[in-house]
Structure 1
Amino acid sequence: MKFTRAICIALVIVLVSSLDLTSAAVEEEIKVACVQTELIPCFVAAFIGSQPSAECCGKLKEQQSCLCGYIQNPTFGQFIKNSQNVFTASWHLEKMIIHVNLTQDNPMPLEAGRTVDLTYSVNWIPTDITFARRFDVYLDYPFFEHQIHWFSIFNSFMMVIFLTGLVSMILMRTLRNDYAKYAREDDDLESLERDVNEESGWKLVHGDVFRPPRGLVLLSAVVGTGAQLALLVLLVILMAIIGTLYVGRGAIVTTFIVCYALTSFISGYVSGGMYSRSGGKHWIKCMILTASLFPFLCFGIGFILNTIAIFYGSLAAIPFGTMVVVFVIWGFISFPLALLGTVVGRNWSGAPNNPCRVKTIPRPIPEKKWYLTPSVVSLMGGLLPFGSIFIEMYFVFTSFWNYKVYYVYGFMLLVFLILVVVTVCVTIVGTYFLLNAENYHWQWTSFFSAASTAVYVYLYSIYYYYVKTKMFGFFQTSFYFGYTLMFCLGLGILCGAVGFLGSNLFVRRIYRNIKCD
């Protein structure tokens, strides 16, 4: 039993620390108990009652605390030792240890040549918690199930109702009036000119709205990757709801890596189909970029952070064997599936089948007011989606950086679905206003309009770092913002793909019902 072994090792360490011994046998026994710990020399020096060396003090100061009970006094800057150790062990009637808690008391300064009497006691407390529910002690129910969490879900749900109503109004009222106007065949020249000047002009760009955008290969790659990430997040959340992924160490990360490799077919299928329907010819380039763009972005960030961790001698460094395993999974599972998906999507999508014929000469885009430019539409498009996940981001960041166990995956599923709906609705509205301004460059604008949600999340992470955490130094800062950047890249690609696909359906739907000359 792991828990039984842990309590036995802890008791052995305390027993050894209560003796005034300096023999090599004691050092060897302590080394066995503290195996795979980079502060073994410091532990040995502490247990035998001597003053740690300068190197050990440096490591202790860097780590701020150690398992043997030495901590740095924040007021005087000296190391102190808690001489009283109280173990509280909760046990079930099935003779299983459920929980062990260590309470330290009676701090004493660590001085050279001073003899410290170390004592310990063990309290055995029966509990009704079964072995299968032993992890519940680490779940902070009042924090995660606070009424503000429920209020945020309700607030986001009301936002969804408002936005879906707005989109429905555009589709059912505004577009219906536009269809009626454009369908009239008996208008005289004066009334037609008045309609063109007074009404919206999205119909006027019908000959350019399906023109392939610049950077079609890159757009197809990020849209395919985003579609895969959307499915991946949904699968992982459902698996977390059904099972208990928060129990095992690294279970969430392992599940993400495996599911990402197995869902790579989706990215290739969406990317290949989109590239083929847009008339692209360099499908191999599109396939390679789709399969390698996001993994290599994450690899680049991870490599930099891993180099920093190795330089600082931190245990946060990823072992070389783990990196090899991840690369093998990508090379032998993810990449072939992306290749297969690209071939299938390219062959099944068929030739370009746009509702309106693309004209040979591009139509000039008239100058409009500043708030109808693509850059402003893109920046404004991420505000409402960010508002729908703002509260949940606080809980996610607190779980990841403040060592709380996130377990309310039902909330996360609702927030994710709300995010998808809000992103689609906001992007459709932005695309409609852009087309009304007779700007037919809607493809990249719709993607960036949805992807800008990640920009606001990253700005929020800066606020969270300085206000909600007590991190400092280059090592902690680089890890915080490095992993947050990796998260925001994935979130931006996911939201961008969702927004683009929603806008694409909207554009094809409205131009399908007009008369294209």
Structure 2
Amino acid sequence: YLRFAVSKYHKCLQFLFQVYGDVFRHQHSRQPFSILVGSGVQLSFVVLCLILLAMSVDMNGERAGLVSAAIFLYFGVVAYRRIRWRSFIFEILFSVNCYYSSNNGQAASPRWIRQGVAQALLPPSLICGVAFPVNLVAVGYHSSRSLTPSQGLSVLAIVTFALLPLSLIGTLLGRNLCGRPSKLPCRLNAVPRPLPEKRHCLAEPPIICLLGGLLPFASIFVEMYYVFTSFWAYKIYYVYGFSFLAFALLLCATACVTIVCVYFLLNSEDYRWQWCSFMAGASTAVYLYVYAVYYFFFKTRMYGLYQTAFYFSFMALFCCGLALICGAVGFLAASLFVRTIYANVKTD
């Protein structure tokens, strides 16, 4: 039995040896990849701090208290009226994503200024791309939720005088404090290894990425019902302790499933694991959006163009944020796994 186990172990590692010289090869679109991962890291910190803040302070008594705290955590300059925190703490928190993004893309992109600006403009671009069409519909329906020109100028001022400076500061810190990128555990081949044909359809990267989000979504399926109910049915949500457990379970499930997906990808002699690890974690948002469609038709009584556009647009924005968080966590876990495996492997 011991001989059989050892032979099976070496057979499993044989496929990992085939991509030994290409597993750390940089893939295409390195700068957008580092921007997406950096944004996911930042959102993870924001969500974690927001849940801990909601667990320690009662924010249901004030209107839009949780939303105000989220904006304060994200931008670092919007004061929350009931909680007197110093703004520099949250400015440092905003710089986390640019710090990590600069460290991750330092070797990939020498144009760090463009990367810092793109890092700062990515979240506002997503929000404006969703909110602007919905705002046009709201203006057509004469809704009180439509944004006024003064509010639009306020958002533009926040982006110009808060996001851009903090992004550039975080990028500078990432470049100067992190130093050179860490040394790779193995050397890269001069010529990329050709990819072999897949033995079955389950070894294809799109299939692996799509299946990777199923288990993480199952870990938050029950909790999402209460979150949707509190947001769309206007009911008070107060079980933030369960939210913390659900968020921790989501991160753990995403990390574990992404490691398994990357292992299957490397086992099929495919070394393109960077984007696959990110998309495997981000695919959780696909299942969540499908559930949001089900919730709209069977759990709500919304009707009309404005309510439909408002619901699906902002659920798409919510799913984009979840995709960034899960994708960043998946890539970090897969990167640690791959570095650990190939740092301890012996090719002789």
TM-score of the pair, normalised by structure 2: 0.89
Note the C-alpha offset of 1:323.
Answer: 2.9
SS in 2 for 1:201: helix
Counterparts of 1:39-438 in structure 2, within 5 Å, are 181=10, 200-262=14-76, 263-276=93-106, 278-352=107-181, 353-368=183-198, 369-438=200-269
SS in 1 for 2:283: helix
- How big is each residue's C-alpha offset from its partner over 1:293-346, in whole Å with a ceiling of 9 and x where there is no partner? 122111111111111111100111123333332332232222211211111112
- Counterpart position of 1:480: 311
**More deviation, 371-380/302-311:** 302-311
Tell me the distance in 1 between the aligned counterparts of 2:7 and 2:176: 36
Q: Is the 8 A contact 1:232 1:256 kept in 2?
A: yes
Which runs of 5 or more structure 1 residues have no equivalent in the other structure? 1-175, 182-194
1:488 to 1:271, Cα distance in 2 relative to 1, 3 A: same
Corresponding letter in the other structure for 1:366: P
1:178 to 1:248, Cα distance in 2 relative to 1, 3 A: farther
Corresponding letter in the other structure for 2:326: C
Tell me the distance in 2 between the aligned counterparts of 1:247 and 1:253: 13
- How big is each residue's C-alpha offset from its partner over 1:25-67, in whole Å with a ceiling of 9 and x where there is no partner? xxxxxxxxxxxxxxxxxxxxxxxxxxxxxxxxxxxxxxxxxxx
Note the C-alpha offset of 1:219.
Answer: 0.5
Q: Is the 8 A contact 1:272 1:283 kept in 2?
A: yes
SS in 1 for 2:226: helix
Tell me the distance in 2 between the aligned counterparts of 1:238 and 1:401: 23
- How big is each residue's C-alpha offset from its partner over 1:141-187, in whole Å with a ceiling of 9 and x where there is no partner? xxxxxxxxxxxxxxxxxxxxxxxxxxxxxxxxxxx969985xxxxxx
| RMSD of aligned Cα (Å) | 2.0
Tell me the distance in 1 between the aligned counterparts of 2:53 and 2:17: 45
- How big is each residue's C-alpha offset from its partner over 1:46-95, in whole Å with a ceiling of 9 and x where there is no partner? xxxxxxxxxxxxxxxxxxxxxxxxxxxxxxxxxxxxxxxxxxxxxxxxxx
- How big is each residue's C-alpha offset from its partner over 1:199-233, in whole Å with a ceiling of 9 and x where there is no partner? 54112211111111111011000000000000000
Tell me the distance in 2 between the aligned counterparts of 1:379 and 1:411: 27
Q: Does 1:451 pair with 2:282? A: yes
Tell me the distance in 2 between the aligned counterparts of 1:178 and 1:492: 39
Q: Is the 8 A contact 2:30 2:108 kept in 1?
A: no
Identical aligned residues as a percent:
44
Tell me the distance in 2 between the aligned counterparts of 1:235 and 1:247: 20
Tell me the distance in 1 between the aligned counterparts of 2:14 and 2:48: 38
SS in 2 for 1:400: helix
| Higher helix proportion (structure 1 or 2) | 2
Rg larger for: 1
| Number of residue pairs matched by the alignment | 327
1:447 to 1:490, Cα distance in 2 relative to 1, 3 A: same
Q: Point out which structure has higher relative CO (alpha carbons under 8 A, 6+ apart).
A: 2
1:240 to 1:199, Cα distance in 2 relative to 1, 3 A: closer
Q: Is the 8 A contact 1:287 1:342 kept in 2?
A: yes
Tell me the distance in 2 between the aligned counterparts of 1:363 and 1:297: 37
- Counterpart position of 2:85: none
- Counterpart position of 2:90: none
Q: Does 1:497 pair with 2:325? A: no
- Counterpart position of 2:82: none
Tell me the distance in 2 between the aligned counterparts of 1:239 and 1:377: 36
Corresponding letter in the other structure for 1:371: L
Q: Is the 8 A contact 1:275 1:346 kept in 2?
A: no
Tell me the distance in 2 between the aligned counterparts of 1:253 and 1:224: 22
- Counterpart position of 1:58: none
1:235 to 1:254, Cα distance in 2 relative to 1, 3 A: same
Corresponding letter in the other structure for 1:261: F
- Counterpart position of 1:147: none
1:478 to 1:204, Cα distance in 2 relative to 1, 3 A: same
Tell me the distance in 2 between the aligned counterparts of 1:256 and 1:299: 17
- How big is each residue's C-alpha offset from its partner over 1:264-318, in whole Å with a ceiling of 9 and x where there is no partner? 2011011000011x44322222222211112211111111111111110011112
Note the C-alpha offset of 1:437.
Answer: 0.7
- Counterpart position of 2:302: 471
- How big is each residue's C-alpha offset from its partner over 1:470-489, in whole Å with a ceiling of 9 and x where there is no partner? 11111110000011011011
- Counterpart position of 1:510: 341
SS in 2 for 1:333: helix
Q: Is the 8 A contact 2:42 2:94 kept in 1?
A: yes
Note the C-alpha offset of 1:391.
Answer: 0.6
| Higher strand proportion (structure 1 or 2) | 1
Note the C-alpha offset of 1:499.
Answer: 0.5
1:180 to 1:384, Cα distance in 2 relative to 1, 3 A: closer
Q: Is the 8 A contact 1:200 1:437 kept in 2?
A: no
Q: Is the 8 A contact 1:382 1:456 kept in 2?
A: yes
SS in 2 for 1:235: helix
